[in-house]
Amino acid sequence: MRSLSCLLPIVLAAAAAPAHAVEIDGRIDPEEWQDARRVTDFRKVQPLNGEPASLPTEAWILATPDGLAVAFRNTQPPSVPRTRQRVQRDFSAQVDRVNVMVDFDGGGRTGYNFTVSSTEGIYDAIISNESEFNDDWDGSWRHAVGEDDAGWTAELLIPWHIAPMREAGGDTRTIRIYLDRVVGATGERAAWPLASYERPRFLSEFAPIEVAEYSQSLLALTPYVSGLYDNVDGRGEADGGLDVFWKPNGQFQLTATVNPDFGQVESDDLVVNFDATETFVSDKRPFFTENQGLFEFTTPSDYSQLLYTRRIGGPADDGDGSGDIDAAIKLNGSLGATKYGIFAAEEADEAGRSFRALRLVHDFSTQNLGAMLTQVERPFLDREATVLGVDHNWRPTARWNVRTRLLGSRIEQAGERSSDTGATVWADYEMDGGWRQQWIGMHFGDELQINDAGYLSRNSTNYGHWQLQRRFTDLPAESRYASKDWRWRVSGNYNDHGQRLNHQFRMSRESRLRNGSYEYAQINVNSARVDDLLTRGNGVVKLPPSFGAYFEYDRPRKGNWAYEFEAEAFSGGLSGNDRIGYSVEFEPSYFVSDAFNVYVGLYAERTPDWLVWQRDNLIGSFDGREVNLNTGFNWTIGSRQELRLRLQAIAINARLRQGYRVDPMGNAVASDEPVDDLSVRNLGFQVRYRYELAPLSYLYVVYGRGGYEEETFADGTGRLLRDSFRLRDDEQLLVKLSYRFEL
């Protein structure tokens, strides 16, 4: 023990000693990495059994003045096929790859994920809430890959200016790090340390390491110019703007944008939504994704968050298109163990809104405490919305993870004031033998409103569930499965008026196969309940018991083919279990080469008792049929260019079964009032060329066309799908050039 205690300061001093720069070329030079920390104890985390990795993997970690450098040596003999598929940025394909995940402050609050594939594709994301990955963010970092007969290598350099960091207070700083390697042919993931995002705690389980304290300053200016020609209106327009990124030291960072251009360089999925709840759409706009992790304030409710940046520049309050953003600014920094963030955005014109947010977080050894305040002024609606949230993350032991959120809103509109509160608790408990338990409780008051700046699918909710889980990883060698994860859940949900929204039993199984495939199956059994949103405030509708069964199978590329398959059977509506609906989706991909693939996805759904609101308390029950086409190709032209084509078409055909009026008791009473059949066509088509001039500097050439048409009669879904190709509400050609100057 005395010899170990004498050795420890030497090891720490070596880890913290100044290091010279390394050349990121994909070749691991022993002299360059001689002072690095070497890692060889990689353990299986998919399947999560902790056994030594099947294939030897070595890694080196070295702090340099230019950034945190990490290298991998991945042994891969000819008996294990290598994936040669080229991938685009933020890929999700099952390919050979390595991951470096870093928590620069070591507090378990925010991490950064950097992924490199064996073909030099990259993925980056921000990690929050222990295991939530947001790949909307794109960072500027360096990487290179090498290959020989025995395996492949990867080198990464992550600059210190990539993220705000609190002051170290000495010559060294403690960061937390996680490394893993994924074998594309089998799906096996081996990691150091033994941590997994399949567990309740992941980010806080990263390995602490001490490195030399370095600080980098950066001023980056990204001007853009764009030209848009509208082929429908026959007119063109030019635009320009500027993004600014300034980090004078590790403890302060400023991001600003002037006249940001949010042209259609990204294409959102088409959605036809007749529900009372809003569809959530993620945000890829650079200013809003840059170090947004500090502003993450979420609850267990799906996609909920206090600052939903798609509100900014979203549909204008006067209904005339989208809001025009004049400017926005964001400050991130730290004072000791306290982090702060300030956000502000202004829209132009009389209907323009003003958005503001303030964020504070303090890290303790086993917990962190934060607060967030948002305010939105909407002069066109004579409305001002203020929301305050307090969040607490607590890790009392190695087995427990507890997350608590408190919310409050105050709305002032046209001289009237309303306010309400909400609270959520999310507790996970890790037991022995692969068993886990989870408890979730949520209360959102009837008058709680956070959607001026945030996103919440619904208020007036009192929800609770208990979930028991068991992971099986010791499956026989002859089994086609590498792991199975069973989950059983019971839940109850009431609105703030004491009416039952649902009682549910859910059973699911998530499986990973030895050939790298993924499988998921789920069964839901729902009680009788009421729907208090369908009539948009004109009464509740009583609904009988129902069920749902879902199955998904994803097979990664084998030879020239990969495919995804989904199937679902369900009941619902006023018929309950008397009428069964279904949906089927199949999307095969054919790889003409490693760089070029074509995919064709077909989706068909029938909902025999589809309830659609008409007006006041009148609803229609429809026999709904939907057909979707999702097709296109991806061509990765070298390491800097890509060409992508995407076509989505949706056809919905709904014939009326019966119209109903909802009486004061919630009963649906048949009505002879006329209700029209319904048909919908929707089209989205985009061809996008992107050339990377330099890191985070791009030339885009984008052609897009789309349209939406809703009619009051029903026709065959096949004809509707064909007719959707003639839609032409919008047809535009966009050219955009942005270049990042680092000073």
Among 586, 669, 654, 667, smallest CA distance to 623 is for 654
Among 580, 714, 739, smallest CA distance to 220 is for 739
| 143 within a domain of the structure (yes/no) | yes
What does the pLDDT look like over 326-365, one tens digit per residue? 999 999 998 888 999 999 999 998 899 999 999 999 988 8
Tell me the pairing of strands 576-593 and 596-615: antiparallel
Question: What letter represents residue 389's amino acid?
Answer: G
What pLDDT shows up at residue 16?
A: 43
Determine the Cα–Cα distance for residues 205 and 168; give it in Å rounded to an integer.
21
What pLDDT shows up at residue 4?
A: 37
**Do residues 735 and 667 lie in contact, with contact meaning Cβ atoms separated by under 8 Å?**
no
Residue 17 has pLDDT above 70, yes or no: no
Q: Average the pLDDT over 435-458 and give the result.
A: 97
Say whether the peptide bond before residue 193 is cis (omega within 30 degrees of 0).
yes
What does the pLDDT look like over 623-645, one tens digit per residue? 999 999 999 999 999 889 999 99
| 136 within a domain of the structure (yes/no) | yes
| 40 within a domain of the structure (yes/no) | yes
What pLDDT shows up at residue 446?
A: 96
Q: Average the pLDDT over 506-529 and give the result.
A: 97
Per-residue pLDDT band for 262 (boundaries 50, 70, 90) equals low
Work out the burial of residue 411: count CB atoms within 10 Å of its CB; fewer than 13 is exposed, 13-18 middle, 19 or more buried. Answer: buried
Determine the Cα–Cα distance for residues 303 and 659; give it in Å rounded to an integer.
33
Q: Which domain holds residue 173?
A: 2-216
**Do residues 36 and 62 lie in contact, with contact meaning Cβ atoms separated by under 8 Å?**
yes
Of 253-267, 394-408, 511-525, 622-636, the one with minimum mean pLDDT is 253-267
| 186 within a domain of the structure (yes/no) | yes
Burial track 495-513 (b if 16+ CB lie within 10 A, e otherwise): bbeebebbbbebebbbbbb
What does the pLDDT look like over 572-625, one tens digit per residue? 999 999 999 999 999 999 999 999 999 999 999 999 999 999 999 999 999 999
Question: What letter represents residue 632's amino acid?
Answer: G
| 12 within a domain of the structure (yes/no) | yes
| 92 within a domain of the structure (yes/no) | yes
Q: Tell me, what DSSP letter sits at residue 153?
A: E
Q: For the chain, give the mean pLDDT.
A: 92
Q: How far is CA 334 from CA 166, 168, 359, 490, in A?
A: 5, 11, 11, 42
Find the helix or strand (DSSP H, E) in which 12 lies.
helix 2-16
Of 200-214, 261-275, 569-583, 642-656, the one with minimum mean pLDDT is 261-275
Provide the 3-class DSSP secondary structure of residue 27.
coil
**Cα 77 to the center of its chain, rounded Å:** 35
Among 201, 585, 565, 578, smallest CA distance to 394 is for 201
Q: Average the pLDDT over 520-537 and give the result.
A: 97
Residue 19 has pLDDT above 70, yes or no: no
Domain count for the chain: 1
What pLDDT shows up at residue 739?
A: 96
| 28 within a domain of the structure (yes/no) | yes
What pLDDT shows up at residue 405?
A: 97
In this structure, how many other beta carbons lie within 10 angstroms of the beta carbon of residue 1?
Answer: 5
Structure tokens belonging to residue 372: 């967030």
What does the pLDDT look like over 105-145, one tens digit per residue? 988 889 999 999 999 999 999 998 899 999 989 999 999 99
Among 506, 549, 494, 502, smallest CA distance to 527 is for 502
Task: Give the pTM.
Answer: 0.91
Work out the burial of residue 301: count CB atoms within 10 Å of its CB; fewer than 13 is exposed, 13-18 middle, 19 or more buried. Answer: buried
Among 101, 193, 102, 195, smallest CA distance to 401 is for 195
What does the pLDDT look like over 84-93, one tens digit per residue? 999 999 999 9
Determine the Cα–Cα distance for residues 184 and 175; give it in Å rounded to an integer.
29
| 697 within a domain of the structure (yes/no) | no
Residue 561, beta-bridge partner list: 558, 590
CATH of the domain at 38: 2.60.40.1190
